[in-house]
Structure 1
Amino acid sequence: MACNTTVEEWDYAIQILKRPPSEYAGTDKFPDMNKVYYRLKFSYDKLRGDKIKSCFKYCCLFSEDCLISKRDLIDCWIGEGFLDEFEGRLVINQGYSIINTLLRACLLEEDGNDYVKMHDVIRDMAVWIAREVEKENENFLVCASSGLTEAVEARKWEGVRRMSLMDNKIKNLPEAPQCSSLITLFLNGNWIRKIPHDFFQYMSSLKSFKPL
């Protein structure tokens, strides 16, 4: 909401935030969701365009309190096809512009000149949006820094589009998981000794992969 600049915009924001959670679209589908998320989601809903919203949701794949390199994040967005500029420098600048938009909306926090991070509550909201509210379009599976010693069982990979298992203690991966919809996979920060030879067999859509 930090990007609101007129009296009318702030008045509208105040009226929205005064509404009870039961009036928010989709509340009937998730009656037990913490009402704080609905009020925080107003900042997300105010983002202009699906492109910026997709870039925001992507950030929840990183672990809680993770310092995210701005350039690395932009490279990931490019790999995902979120950015629509094609000339080298233009697409990088577009990425930085989106990061600045998210910073102004208080959906990301800056850490020095080169890094950003997500507040844990904002990240939880982003996971909730990607995994619950917009599940039909997004279908994230986020288990970063969850203390896992085993990978998510293969049957749960089916239909997932973006998955993060980073920063756990996983040693072994399932063989040939059926996940033809999987676009993004984060495995970095684990104890994996080797990747099964047929692990990628059904990952025909994979665009972004963070390995060991």
Structure 2
Amino acid sequence: MAAADLPSTPPLSSTPRTRITRLRERGRTDRQALHDLLADGLVAHVGVVREGRPVVVPSAYAVDPQGPDEAGSLYLHGSVGAGWLGRMDGAEVCVTVTELDGLVLARSAFHHSMNYRSAVVLGRARLVTDAAERLRALDAVVDQVVPGRAATLRPMTRKELAATVVLAVPLAEASVKERAGDAGDDDEDVAAGTWAGTLPLRRACDGVVSNPDSHDRVPDDVRRRAAHWA
């Protein structure tokens, strides 16, 4: 689902775990900011406690703002071979997504920063067992990478489905923080005449590279995605 098509939802509600305590002016209270960021992102980092130790793993993900969990569902997937993933049903997890928009180069080391958009989602993971919801979630993960691609692929086999774990995390408890703009230097550093500025960053695509054994034309959905980041 495109960011522009996301349904209207209540604002982000601060909880003791999501309350921003430093640089509160960078926090966003509109839930649409969360939806927009999650729609833009490609990789989530999932924090869990495994055998008494913290572990953070990267994962592809997808979001359904109208999913069955409170305030919508964030879906994660992984291999059954990673046995701990299947044991996360009911466990507390922390999911973060960050988009880096620029490097902020100040006149002092203290004021160096980054322009970014970041989201933190906290919640109790739910193992998705309903067959229809599992298929929707896995299609959504593919479409998060290339919108519309899932509809062009063959159906997943029973063996593939059996080898895949799908988790859902409610979007109810989340925070969004953003920074944009120039360096915030001290007046005396500005007066000293030292250079300061930013290095804007963006995701870019260097074109489509077909597999040597791929003889079909590049699909339209792939062309559109490449053009989006050209």
TM-score tier, shorter chain, comes to under 0.3
TM-score, normalised via structure 1 length: 0.28
TM-score, normalised via structure 2 length: 0.26
Which structure: greater helix fraction?
1
Q: Which has the higher contact order (CA 8 A, sep 6+)?
A: 2
**Which protein has the larger Cα radius of gyration, Structure 1 or Structure 2?**
2
